[in-house]
Structure 1
């Protein structure tokens, strides 16, 4: 396929690496974190807030945008960038994870997925071709293949090897159909494949080899952080990442905590997304250099300190923990706004520090200091 994604590794420090990733709407410095804007909006954040905290790419979701506002409306605006007034890169998930989250309500067949709309109950049918057609209308800088996200378990049943194998093979067949449709659309953007295979290393390797044979611009690791014990996440990541050729960008989907991201960078991962910083912000769970703060805790009621004295975000520059506690307890809208500004700034500044430490060949020193500070819980 035509590669409209130009990825260049600039520096390495062990397996950690800095890169430049050129997309049609801009160039990213990697490793990078993508704030999640599921329905065309990063919750509680205006465009100016995203720009101020240094966001250079956001993630949208094919499934949710298909539901609302609908593809006709976005097509009328000639793409998602114009609709939301964001002229920087956008990556769109294919809808595969929504199939995973609606699994009990879906009927998955070789052709695609049938389900009822969570909005109005109407009958819907999503196929690899349909997902790619939607993403082409969205004009996503990075289009994701439509895949089946293999769960770790359903109810009390842990997915066994044969179930994981069947799911992975279905995703490979869907990957080929996704790419074929991408080419039919004469899409000028880029497409990533998604490695599946559950917690089984041999299936993960088979998935990688199958995706490399099909040929994509980059490769994502899916099916992690879906309920499996943490040790499986680290084990699979350490196995999978070196199997993906280093000249491609590597994207770990839906992960995670600051500690998880730092560990993944150690394993050569370049791109991350997760709802954790925004969702936790709305629930009053704030990330700081020296541990996490549950701002609604009564201990912060009279605390006149700033949230995190090491942070330069708008929230930390202007407001006390006491005020943020008050906003959270009284459920003021500004609580979500200020908390989200801080959490996303924390994540993006963490990525900036990671890039700088790699450039200086001091990533391991930075990593050890960062993890030690985070574990101190001195706040």
Structure 2
């Protein structure tokens, strides 16, 4: 497909179980199965992993972080080195966030035009606008980019959430217009890029529904729900999520941003969510916390010192097939860099497989039973 205009991300739904669905999402450069978990490659790399590891894991999509890449090495550098594909050496599908979540965690100066913030690297002052976020992400060249939104931490006063939601709607229209204006430049690079809008609204179902309707009216290529899993409970999150999903089109992907814990994933799939991303598997791995079918495993625990068994007997990943808990614990405790790589490989593989198994449950119309099993361990 050429990059001469908007590239809708079309979802072909192949199976449903209640509101949950399984199928194939089609981008301008390839397709991927949904539900899908996207590992996070913050600075152009999933922490501790290389492109060859990604080839082995075969994630459907990898997310890269706009905020970090625009600061180091700079979006123009990534563009001149072939975009994310050429820069990272990984040919799979990619998505860039808008940078908004990281920016707003820095308590920036916010006005109607955009946001000013200090670099976490050198303290230099930077400016990000809806138009600028679209241009930076076009330079990065991911297959999918996100519009700039405002993500208040929760809990927050009702007025703060409402103002953020209103401004997100105004920024959505500006960001979409800028993205469409850049179509010719993307076409010259052969870039078939899509842009996804973001629903905000805190934990207020009515505000979420209104934000979803307004975001759809702008007319994006796909849709995301942001501003959840940022301090609220799961009991608060799910009704707000359901209210948003109800107003999102069935033929476009529905992406729950920043969520990767197993319980929330299966709950969100049951509500009709298709895509997830989170740093959870790599962050836990660095600290010796392992994802298994029996729950979290603390590899630093002394009881694993002489354990010859795999991290998870039920896991078919290459780490579980080859190395023992005792050996991996040793690498972790002596600070070998290999430990981060191997434990991250396992955790990412385990979470990818969890989502695959959730998709299988949808296709077999047994999601309720699978959800019950997952929540019994992770709920």
**Residues 325-356 of structure 1: CA deviation (Å, up to 9, x unaligned):** 11121121111111101000001111111222
TM, length-normalised to structure 1: 0.94
3-state SS in 2 of match to 1:277: helix
Aligned-partner Cα distance in 2 for 1:324–1:227? 33
Aligned-partner Cα distance in 2 for 1:374–1:257? 8
Aligned-partner Cα distance in 2 for 1:327–1:259? 30
Aligned-partner Cα distance in 2 for 1:366–1:92? 31
Q: State how 1:18-29 maps to structure 2 within 5 Å.
A: 18-29=22-33
Q: State how 1:77-92 maps to structure 2 within 5 Å.
A: 77-92=81-96
Q: Is the 8 A contact 1:25 1:87 kept in 2?
A: no
Match of 2:180 in 1: 183
Aligned-partner Cα distance in 2 for 1:176–1:322? 54
Aligned-partner Cα distance in 2 for 1:3–1:341? 32
Structure 1 residue 219 corresponds to structure 2 residue 223: yes
Aligned-partner Cα distance in 1 for 2:71–2:77? 11
Aligned-partner Cα distance in 1 for 2:75–2:225? 27
Deviation of 1:230 after TM superposition, in Å, equals 2.6
Q: State how 1:54-69 maps to structure 2 within 5 Å.
A: 54-69=58-73
Q: For structure 1, which segment, 34-43 or 44-53, has the greater mean C-alpha deviation from structure 2 after superposition?
A: 44-53
Q: Is the 8 A contact 1:7 1:20 kept in 2?
A: yes
Match of 2:171 in 1: 174
- Structure 2 residue corresponding to 1:253, chosen from 252, 257, 263: 257
Q: For structure 1, which segment, 280-289 or 320-329, has the greater mean C-alpha deviation from structure 2 after superposition?
A: 320-329
Match of 2:74 in 1: 70
- Structure 1 residue corresponding to 2:243, chosen from 220, 223, 239: 239
Q: Number of residue pairs matched?
A: 368
Structure 1 residue 306 corresponds to structure 2 residue 310: yes
Match of 1:138 in 2: 140
3-state SS in 2 of match to 1:361: coil
- Structure 2 residue corresponding to 1:149, chosen from 128, 131, 151: 151
3-state SS in 2 of match to 1:147: coil
Deviation of 1:15 after TM superposition, in Å, equals 1.2
- Structure 2 residue corresponding to 1:161, chosen from 141, 150, 158: 158
Aligned-partner Cα distance in 2 for 1:75–1:52? 26
Match of 1:45 in 2: 49
Q: Is the 8 A contact 1:99 1:148 kept in 2?
A: no
Aligned-partner Cα distance in 2 for 1:217–1:246? 12
Q: Is the 8 A contact 1:249 1:271 kept in 2?
A: yes
Q: Is the 8 A contact 2:7 2:27 kept in 1?
A: no
Q: State how 1:93-132 maps to structure 2 within 5 Å.
A: 93-103=97-107, 106-132=108-134
Structure 1 residue 230 corresponds to structure 2 residue 234: yes
User: Structure 1: which 5+ residue stretches go unaligned?
Assistant: 154-158
Aligned-partner Cα distance in 2 for 1:208–1:4? 17
Distance change (3 Å), C-alpha of 1:4 and 1:217: closer
Deviation of 1:243 after TM superposition, in Å, equals 2.5
Q: Is the 8 A contact 1:290 1:373 kept in 2?
A: yes
The alignment yields a C-alpha RMSD, in angstroms, of: 1.5
TM, length-normalised to structure 2: 0.94
**Residues 149-208 of structure 1: CA deviation (Å, up to 9, x unaligned):** 12114xxxxx22221111111111111110010011005411111110111122111211
User: Structure 2: which 5+ residue stretches go unaligned?
Assistant: 187-191
Aligned-partner Cα distance in 2 for 1:134–1:220? 19
- Structure 2 residue corresponding to 1:278, chosen from 260, 282, 289: 282
